[in-house]
Amino acid sequence: MVQFNYALSLFLSGKYAEAADRLKPVITADPQDGQAYFLYAKSLEKIGKAETANAADDQARRYLLPTYAKWQTEWQKSQTVNGVTARLRDVLNRDDIYKFGEPQTVTDTGTEDLLAKARDLYQAGRDEEALPELHRVVMLEPTNAEAYLLSGRINLRRGDPEAAIAALKTAIFWDPKLIDAHILLGRIFLERGDRGEATKYATSAMTIDSNNQEAIALQRQVTMGKN
């Protein structure tokens, strides 16, 4: 709560980069905090980090419905976030004051073991058993991009492209250089006939690693028939 309120204060003061930094631990603590994602997206937009801002905005849209449309309309008209208000509670824990401003991280030695188990289950085609392991990883380490990537692969294999897209975009949100997520998103959008989105992710994959064979293949696919 304290971190969020401080971030909002920084944002309203025009200190967008500092606001974005303060919002990271807020999102880490609650990966479904739509308000924090919205404010984070607008902070990043203001400092020119368009790709990461778009990923954060996707998460804001996901968790703020139906509030998102109203807030986004206001932002587009006046660049204001009047819907985002300071958070209050009756009792302020003294520990919040002492820890205020300290970097917060989420680590657990068990996450690697859980992730390895999920990988093995996925390779064996045991998706229903792999997903609970991935959920445990995310509970322990909400910023684990590989867990979201694997979740995206599983959801796609299960025939749920929307869930796959959401998971893969979250993976990119936490690790913009995760090339496999870019490639997979490009393939999904290409299959759906959305060449614009497919081209965007093919381009980003090539930017990350122009020698990656899967990225090269995707780039060829999206450019076929353009001329």
Q: What structural domains does the chain harbor?
A: 2-99 (1.25.40), 106-164 (1.25.40.10)
* Cα distances (Å, whole numbers) of residue 92 to 19, 33, 68, 98, 165: 22, 20, 29, 11, 38
Taking the C-alpha atoms of residue 160 and residue 168, their distance in angstroms, rounded to an integer, is: 12
- Contact (CB, 8 A) for 177 and 148: no
How far is it, in rounded angstroms, from Cα 11 to Cα 155? 36
pLDDT means per 10 residues in the chain (227 residues)?
A: 84 91 88 91 93 90 88 91 69 38 44 91 92 82 86 90 86 90 95 92 95 95 73
- Rg for the chain (alpha carbons), in Å? 19
Predicted pLDDT at 164: 87
DSSP string for residues in 108-120: -THHHHHHHHHHH
What is the structure's pLDDT at 226?
56
CA distances to 41, 43, 98, 127, 212 from 172, in Å: 14, 18, 33, 22, 17
Q: CA–CA separation, 214 vs 113, rounded Å?
A: 28
Instruction: Check residue 67 and give its pLDDT.
Output: 87
Task: Give the global pTM.
Answer: 0.58
